[in-house]
Structure 1
Amino acid sequence: MATESLRSALSEAGIVLPTLVADHASPHLGPVILGSVRADVARRLEDVIRRGGRKGEE
């Protein structure tokens, strides 16, 4: 399931999105709801994406 795969990848990067859930309203599309995050979490997520998912590398 995409939600669990994403949760696992984020966890490996040290990021937790507590509101991350599957949207069951359209199961044939498999949408994922990322939810709201604090600004500091959004900045960490941005940093991880820019680094290509590598935790702790400069």
Structure 2
Amino acid sequence: MNTQDSADRVEEAERTLEELRTALEKVGIKLPSLGLDPISLACEAPIPLVELGRCSVQTAVRLAAALR
């Protein structure tokens, strides 16, 4: 994999992360730790992972309701 492919993967992950953040905000959910996992970005050919992180029980309840 070349560096452009790697950069494209990271850019796609960043766009997807922002889409997820926006969608969650539209239903009143904010995940404070939402971000890209830095370890998954550290290798030569990154495979970005979205880190959903931790949230309060109230946020988890709202998230579960939104997914139903």
User: Which one has more relative contact order, counting CA pairs under 8 Å at least 6 apart?
Assistant: 2
Q: Which has the larger radius of gyration?
A: 2
TM-score (norm 2): 0.66
1:14 lines up with 2:32 in the alignment = no
Task: For structure 1, list consecutive stretches of 5 or more residues without a partner in the other structure.
Answer: 51-58
What is the number of residues matched between the two proteins? 50
- The structure with more helix, counted as a fraction of residues: 2
Task: Please report the RMSD computed on the Cα atoms of aligned residues, expressed in angstroms.
Answer: 1.0
Task: For structure 2, list consecutive stretches of 5 or more residues without a partner in the other structure.
Answer: 1-14
TM-score (norm 1): 0.76
- Which stretches of structure 1, 4 residues or longer, exceed 6 Å deviation after superposition? none
